[in-house]
Amino acid sequence: MLSKKQRLQIFLDRLAAASAASSEGEARSLLERVLNQVEDEFSGIPFNPLLPTSDGRMYSPRDDNRRAVPGQPLLIRYRSAAHNTYFGQNGSIRIETLEKDVILDKPGADGRRTEDLNG
Amino acid sequence: MKGIFCLCNMEQQVDKLKALIKDRLPKCNVEVDAPDRGSGNWWIDIRAGKRRVAVEYQPGKGFGVFGRKAGYGEGPIEIYRTPEVAVRRLVQLFRSPNSEARVLTLKSLRELYDCSQVELAQKVGVKQSAISRFEHRSEVKVGTLAAAVKALGGELEVRARFPDSDVAICVKD
């Protein structure tokens, strides 16, 4: 089994390489699918998102952590402990650390990234 | 009206946590990341210098405290139902630079619930020296730990997780 850091990098690499999504919903599904596949292959921890505390496995953004992005109606943000994940209506995805380091910046199917989506 | 009450109640819980942090950890900076929807989760980021602890308030569940190296989308390491206990734990984490949300020693647990060694010894029915020895041992009997946790007002649960199951183990001395 691999470390969290190793699994995160594989997840980011695979997500970046995957075909672009064309909507927010598709982008969320894509991220969830890729992350679950990586965790199934390399974490050794069974999928159990209902556990109240950490089991050491990474999970995709949850609806109860959804936030609008002020001034950017085409973007949605999902907060987690150490990251913000942005989904664009065009299927783009951006993942940042809380220190604003961008670790993934994937364009949508129309070629635009989240930063290109303006009102 | 019930929905408005619930939203106000959630916000009150977060405001109470903020006020307690301001009182007990005055050097810490606190930022709140509020949800759009009333039923969503609140994030409270507490910073002091380079140290940061993230707390997620889930309405109906409590305040989740995260480890320093929380993975992407990983859940909290510890959960506290009230802002008062959550802040006591935050004080422990910020006052001891090397402490980490994950490993809670019996000593930390006892102090979290504001109980001295003498008080715990009386509740368990042993001498204070026994509690002191117990807190310094690297291995303890499960039954003894269960008695100590019960004396603090809790219940010890031992679980075993396998790839195809998740079960509770009976704790008997």
Query: Which chain B residue has its CA at the smallest distance from A3's CA?
Result: B71
pLDDT of residue B138: 77
Do B86 and B3 lie in a common domain?
Answer: yes
Report residue B166: phi and psi, to 5°.
Answer: -145, 110
Instruction: Indicate whether B71 and B110 sit together in one domain.
Output: no
Which DSSP state fits A116? G
Claim to verify: residue B8 and residue B58 sit in the same structural domain? yes
Taking the CA atoms of residue A75, residue A78, residue A83 and residue A87 in that order, the dihedral angle to the nearest 10 degrees is -30
A46 vs B contacts (CB less than 8 Å): 161, 163-164, 166
Mean pLDDT of chain A: 95
If asked whether residues B70 and B138 sit together in one domain, one would say no
Answer yes or no: do B161 and A53 touch at CB < 8 A: no
User: Which pLDDT value is given to residue A57?
Assistant: 94
Residue A6 sits at the chain B interface (C-beta within 8 Å):
no
Q: Are residues B122 and B162 in the same domain?
A: yes
> Can you give the pTM of this predicted structure?
0.88
What DSSP string runs through B36-67? SSTTS-EEEEEEETTEEEEEEEETTTEEEE--
- Shared domain check, B172 and B145: yes
Prediction ipTM score: 0.93
Rg (CA), chain A: 14
Q: What is the pLDDT of residue B60?
A: 85
Let me know the angle formed at the C-alpha of A74 by A68 and A77, rounded to the nearest 5 degrees.
35
When scoring B72, B103, B165 by the number of chain A Cβ atoms within 10 A, the one with the most, hence best to mutate, is: B72
Instruction: Tell me whether residues B64 and A53 touch, CB distance under 8 A.
Output: yes
Residues B68 and B40 in one domain: yes
pLDDT of residue B36: 86
pLDDT of residue B104: 80
- Whether B28 and B92 map to the same domain: the answer is yes
Of the three residues B82, B102, B122, the one that is the final residue of a domain is: B102
Tell whether B167 and B87 lie within a shared domain: no
Rounded Cα gap, residues A24 and A54, in angstroms: 27
Q: Are residues B31 and B74 in the same domain?
A: yes
CA distances from A37 to A26, A43, A59, B19, B144 (A): 16, 10, 11, 42, 42
The CATH number linked to B153 is 1.10.260.40
Chain A closest-CA separation from residue B76 CA (Å): 5
pLDDT under 50: residue ranges of chain B: 1-5, 173
Residue A12, min C-alpha distance to chain B (Å): 11
Domain with B21 in it: 1-102
pLDDT at residue number B3: 47
- The full set of domain ranges for chain A reads 4-116
Q: Are residues B5 and B69 in the same domain?
A: yes
Q: Note whether B77 contacts A54, CB cutoff 8 Å.
A: yes
- Give the contacts of A9 (CB within 8 A, at least 6 positions apart): none
Q: Are residues B131 and B48 in the same domain?
A: no
Q: How many domains does chain B have?
A: 2
**pLDDT tens digits, one per residue of A31-76:** 999 999 999 999 989 898 988 889 899 999 999 999 999 999 999 9
C-alpha of B132 from chain center: 22
| Chain A positions in Cβ-Cβ contact with residue B63 (cut-off 8 Å) | none
Q: Which of B102, B137, B162 is the last residue of a domain?
A: B102
